[in-house]
Amino acid sequence: MRHFAFLAAALLALVSSASRADDAAALMQPYTGKVPGAALLVLKDGKPVLRKAYGYADLEHGVAATPATNYRLASISKQFTAAAILLLAEDGKLKLDDSVRRWLPSLPASDQGITIHHLLSHASGLIDYEDLMPPGTTRQLNDGDVLRMLSAETRSYFAPGTGYRYSNSGYVLLGLIVERASGQRLPDFLRRRIFKPLHMDHTLLREPDGPQPEHRAYGYSEQDGRWVCTDQDLTSATRGDGGIYSSIDDLARWDAALYDGRLLKDASRRLAFAAQNHVTGEADVDAYGYGWRIHGEVRWHSGESIGFRNVIVRWPKQRLTVILLSNRNDPEPYRTALDIARPYLEP
């Protein structure tokens, strides 16, 4: 009798797994065929229950996407910049309540009240560097350009610590602070302290004149019914706010490290995932931590840049994570990720 019960349970599990795969396939249909593609990973209890690639990483050269394809993470990179800051805090190299001007003294005296904590939690009030670009700019901005623009700017959106405004400017500055505090270039610090220890062997922070990602996806945008390569724009060379390339396989290793102390101490991970700044007026966002959006029990972040749309959504208490990376400007993947997760979520 027990044997039949075991077989029945196993058969039910197989049917359920097939049903979930069919549901995901339907949801991922827009990425299927000779179009810019995507990579999807569902992790349950630390194991991949769905790992699949769709479409193409490079249309011009006919390169299909695979689970090893590396996508520009865009703002998903912010959680790695935040982790780098937390590692330096653990090392005693900096404090989260340090004034940003301790590390970047060229910033104006009006920024004295901005702390590293404010940068991490989007509470700085700094002007968006995208809005400070001189008219007619044709060269890609780098981090030094951003620092120079912000050093000449005394306006702010609000006094530090009194509001929330998502800030790429803040995370560019955090990347520069990592370099000043560690004495290492940001790509090197991330590789030595995060990517290498976690065996994220194909993940890197891309710089135009540095090593380029292997198995790279190129970004595309749909224009007049056809896909046009739009891989880079004027803000694609800044680093701390969005410059990392990675794959779903490497991000599975990152996800695993967020459950234990193999990289960050428990106290640091609690800070990253805690509500550091209250958020209003944004769907599915109650607060912001350090590199993570918070919505109830969910911790998530999207990443958008020209030609790329990505998302990582985690339900830590249920040990469930959905990662969806894509090299196209549409569709936005967050709702798709939620729909894919639904059959795996417990009531």
- Burial (CB < 10 A; 0-12, 13-18, 19+), residue 318, is middle
Sheet holding 204-205, edge to edge: 71-72, 244-246, 204-205
Q: What is the pLDDT of residue 1?
A: 60
**Full pLDDT tens readout for the chain, 347 residues:** 666 665 555 444 444 566 788 899 999 999 999 999 999 999 999 999 999 999 999 999 999 999 999 999 999 999 999 999 999 999 999 999 999 999 999 999 999 999 999 999 999 999 999 999 999 999 999 999 999 999 999 999 999 999 999 999 999 999 999 999 999 999 999 999 999 999 999 999 999 999 999 999 999 999 999 999 999 999 999 999 999 999 999 999 999 999 999 999 999 999 999 999 999 999 999 999 999 999 999 999 999 999 999 999 999 999 999 999 999 999 999 999 999 999 999 87
Answer whether 335's CB lies under 8 Å from 15's CB. Answer: no
- Say what the alpha-carbon torsion angle 169, 170, 176, 177 is, to the nearest 10 degrees: 160
- Burial (CB < 10 A; 0-12, 13-18, 19+), residue 4, is exposed
Measured between alpha carbons, how far is residue 13 from residues 7, 8, 42, 141, 168 in Å?
Answer: 10, 9, 16, 52, 44
Answer whether 251's CB lies under 8 Å from 312's CB. Answer: yes
Answer whether 70's CB lies under 8 Å from 213's CB. Answer: yes
Q: What is the pLDDT of residue 16?
A: 55
Q: What is the pLDDT of residue 14?
A: 47
Q: What is the pLDDT of residue 20?
A: 85
Answer whether 191's CB lies under 8 Å from 87's CB. Answer: no
Measured between alpha carbons, how far is residue 52 from residues 28, 40, 66, 191, 324 in Å?
Answer: 10, 5, 7, 26, 10
**Every domain of the chain and the residues it spans:** 37-344
Q: What is the pLDDT of residue 3?
A: 63
Q: Which CATH number is correct for 37-344, 3.40.710.10, 3.30.200.20, 3.40.50.300, 3.40.50.720?
A: 3.40.710.10
* Residue of 16, 17, 19, 75 marked catalytic: 75
Cα–Cα distance between 252 and 321 in angstroms, integer?
Answer: 9
Please, what sign has the CA dihedral across residues 255, 261, 265, 269? positive
Answer whether 78's CB lies under 8 Å from 166's CB. Answer: no
326 belongs to the catalytic site: no
